[in-house]
Structure 1
Amino acid sequence: MHISEKKTENITSSLLAYVSFTFIGYFIIGLSLSVLPIFISKTLGFGLIVAGIVISVQYVATFFLRAYSGKIIDGKGPKLAVLYSMIGFSITGIFLIIAYYFKFSPFLSLTFLIITRLFTGCAEGLVGASPINWAIMAFGEKHTAKIISYNGVACYGSLALGASLGIVIHQYSGLYGIGILSILLGIIGFFFAKTKRNKINKNRKEVQSFWKVLGKVTPFGLCLGLGGIGFAAISTFITLYYTFYHWNNGALSLSVFGILFVAGRLIFNNSINKYGGIKVAIACLLVETLGLSMIAFATDPTLALVGAGVTGFGFSLIFPALGVVAIQSVPAANQGSALAGYGLFIDISLGVAGPVIGAVADFAGMEYIFPFSAFMVFIGLILAWFLKRKYLV
């Protein structure tokens, strides 16, 4: 018993080295995530639809890099993809600084922001599935649920932490400070990745085309994408939502979302193996719908804060719960492509959600963005229920 516990502890500590690349990447993404809508609308003077479109450019770029990332992982190993991603994240910092210095020219500054988002999307597409596959190759498929869960903690925890810190940095040094920190973190991540040993897929002859794999994981990806709309609404628009109602501490709701998200991953990370991925996804989507509904009907910032926490708790296990089932639907040689294809749907979700929710805010009113988001997540809940009946898992 003692030896088993010690072995588990060693795996956990070693796993942190791999998911640290996810932490660095998504922390950099988070730094500008909640700042850019404010900068674009308040400083540059564009509407929320434009802000949403600029944010979504990242996810469009990520969409196209996912397939390339899966090909690299299955063919040459995940290390190369991680190295490329860290270079990309550093470049995003450079263009953020340029956009900051050209803020006197709104259209020129916006152009540099679009370039920034393109590089951010490319970097995200490369780092999205790479650390997960790297860790699975190192520790074995039996730890897949745990690896995806811990990677998700690093992903969304750092995203929320970065978004909160980004607002603070922006108050004192604008996009310039965020750009400098992004460059430094990308460099640190690059040289740390250089120290790690690469892992190569031993069953490369069995590899199927990315598009064939994508077809197999699509049902799970669609469910994930609908669940991701709630996350997109909070991460991109919650600070503006608080401003609209003249509430204070909008950034705190991002932190609470992240804290409850991490808590859900850590406390219930074994529930997927115990109850099955689809059942856990159904429970999570139900909780997330409840959390978004609380924000939608909140009459004060406290209830909205609680709603953000409930939403984070509900969203916590959706990705790993459905991800485990998605991986099981393809041969072992295609795990890189499976995770890359599966992750496409969260990219599409976040990419579409930005301009769509922005359009809802512009044409219907800011007060309708969370009822809309709750409804979309509820559709995901219905889809998950049908998946349960079909796959019986």
Structure 2
Amino acid sequence: MASQDKGGPTPARLYLLILILFVSYLCVAMALPIVPVYVTGRLGFGNVAAGLAVGVAFLSTIVSRGRAGGITDRLGARTAVCAGLGFYVAGALASALAGLPALPPLPTFLILLAGRLVIGVGESLVAVGVIGWGIGLVGPARSGRVLALVGAALYGALGVGGPLGLLLFDQVGFVGAMLVAAVLPGLGLMAIAGLAGVPPQPAAVRPPFWAVIGRIWPHGLVICLQGIGFAAIGAFFALYFIARDWSHAGLGLTAFGAGFVLMRVLFGHLPDRIGGLPVAIGSLAVETVGQFLIWGVPHPVAALTGAFLTGLGCSMIFPAMGREVVGLVEPHLRGTALGGFSAFQDLAYGLTGPLAGLLADRAGYGSVFLVGGLAAGVGFLVAAALRARQAAV
């Protein structure tokens, strides 16, 4: 069958999956810049609450990634993706409810947090499911390519969704923007209805989840450290621009997404060709420069350039390290391993929002990007140590 030809061209089914992922992830991307603006503006809360409202979705993925991986391995990737898209719709509708003007600020904020938690669970299921589905289609030897395509879809959606969310927020308000966000994963559910999945492996012997984590945690630490830079841009770049009275606050995610997708399109094959760790080391160096540029040169062009460089740097780290992870576990554990691996990135996304909010209150928004640069630099050192250990074996 053409779809199972693991050495031939990438099957059309994988590209359709990537398109569905892109469209549905706009649900997440549209909310990122408008949730903190809504929380600090309409609700009147501070930066810590704004960071929590952004980060809580990523925190919910930490506790659901392992479960999402298990569902993918045992019940099949298609089941995981369909369930995740349903969670997206439910979370966006709950977020829209939080925009009703009759509600007082605190209940509104709590409803918004609940919606964001549900969206986080959906993200676990969709992302892990699509990765497992894609690797099932093309084989583990091309897992780096699958991860690169998945990341291109996710961060391409971030690049488009950021300004789209702010535009809808200006034109139709928070409720209208969240209702549009609910429609998009619904379209994904319709598109996936007739798409055949890949067989699960329900009967294989499985070690405990934490035993799998024990094999991959150094690689997860690298993506946790690199994720801080993106989380800083997602949660505070727009507020950074607004605080300085700079225009085009929504272009931070666009610049990041442009760099991210450009790198994936031009160099998405590199992890499969030269190995994951060399790619990750170079990428972390570029991300470090990008974050320091946003922090150290307080000018809008420099900040957008730094966001673009951060996107270039972040782009290949997940597929590069993910390819290493795929090689560390048996085939029937790939979904579980990649779910746990992804949770390290979610940890960075979830904690950066509220903690960076505390830092921003005390030292200004620029300091958030200083921390992002330092974290990427530490990630560079960890990846270099893994490379040295690999070469010594």
The TM-score by the shorter chain falls in which range?
over 0.9
- Quote how far apart the aligned CAs of 1:349 are: 0.6
Identity of aligned residues (%): 30
- Quote how far apart the aligned CAs of 1:340 are: 0.4
1:102–1:108 Cα contact (<8 Å) kept: no
Higher mean C-alpha displacement, 201-210 vs 263-272: 201-210
2:74–2:202 Cα contact (<8 Å) kept: no
- Distance in 1 (alpha carbons) for counterparts of 2:205 and 2:73: 10
1:59 has 2:55 as partner: no
- Quote how far apart the aligned CAs of 1:209 are: 2.7
Equivalent AA in structure 1 for residue 87 of structure 2: G
- Distance in 2 (alpha carbons) for counterparts of 1:117 and 1:296: 29
> Who is 1:133 aligned against?
132
- Quote how far apart the aligned CAs of 1:103 are: 6.2
> Who is 1:109 aligned against?
108
CA 1:63–1:356: 2 relative to 1, 3 Å: same
CA 1:103–1:272: 2 relative to 1, 3 Å: farther
Please state whether the residue corresponding to 1:34 is helix, strand or coil: helix
> Who is 1:223 aligned against?
222
What TM-score do you get using the length of structure 1 for normalisation? 0.95
- Quote how far apart the aligned CAs of 1:271 are: 1.5
> Who is 1:152 aligned against?
151
- Quote how far apart the aligned CAs of 1:338 are: 1.0
> Who is 1:332 aligned against?
331
2:99–2:108 Cα contact (<8 Å) kept: yes
- Distance in 2 (alpha carbons) for counterparts of 1:142 and 1:324: 9
- Distance in 2 (alpha carbons) for counterparts of 1:313 and 1:8: 28
1:242–1:248 Cα contact (<8 Å) kept: yes
Q: Which runs of structure 2 are paired with 1:88-237 in the superposition (5 Å)?
A: 88-102=87-101, 105-202=104-201, 204-237=203-236
- Distance in 1 (alpha carbons) for counterparts of 2:7 and 2:302: 39
CA 1:357–1:103: 2 relative to 1, 3 Å: farther
- Quote how far apart the aligned CAs of 1:260 are: 1.1
Higher mean C-alpha displacement, 234-243 vs 198-207: 198-207
- Distance in 2 (alpha carbons) for counterparts of 1:195 and 1:372: 46
Q: Kindly report the root-mean-square deviation, in angstroms, between the aligned alpha carbons of the 2 structures.
A: 1.9
- Distance in 2 (alpha carbons) for counterparts of 1:203 and 1:327: 19
2:232–2:368 Cα contact (<8 Å) kept: yes
> Who is 1:348 aligned against?
347
Equivalent AA in structure 2 for residue 254 of structure 1: L
- Quote how far apart the aligned CAs of 1:198 are: 2.0
1:363 has 2:362 as partner: yes
What TM-score do you get using the length of structure 2 for normalisation? 0.95
Q: How many residues align?
A: 389
2:32–2:234 Cα contact (<8 Å) kept: yes
Query: CA deviation digits over 1:141-165, x for unaligned, max 9?
Result: 2221111100100011112211221
1:391 has 2:382 as partner: no
- Quote how far apart the aligned CAs of 1:45 are: 0.5
> Who is 1:251 aligned against?
250
- Quote how far apart the aligned CAs of 1:203 are: 7.5
- Distance in 2 (alpha carbons) for counterparts of 1:59 and 1:174: 24
> Who is 1:4 aligned against?
none
Query: CA deviation digits over 1:175-229, x for unaligned, max 9?
Result: 1122221221122111222211122234742433322111111110001000000
1:293–1:370 Cα contact (<8 Å) kept: yes
- Quote how far apart the aligned CAs of 1:346 are: 0.7
Structure 2, unpaired ranges of 5+: 1-5
Equivalent AA in structure 2 for residue 11 of structure 1: T
Higher mean C-alpha displacement, 176-185 vs 42-51: 176-185
Please state whether the residue corresponding to 1:213 is helix, strand or coil: helix
1:21–1:127 Cα contact (<8 Å) kept: no
- Quote how far apart the aligned CAs of 1:341 are: 0.7
- Quote how far apart the aligned CAs of 1:67 are: 1.2
- Distance in 2 (alpha carbons) for counterparts of 1:177 and 1:22: 22
> Who is 1:302 aligned against?
301
CA 1:138–1:188: 2 relative to 1, 3 Å: same
- Distance in 2 (alpha carbons) for counterparts of 1:339 and 1:65: 12
2:242–2:249 Cα contact (<8 Å) kept: yes
1:264–1:317 Cα contact (<8 Å) kept: yes
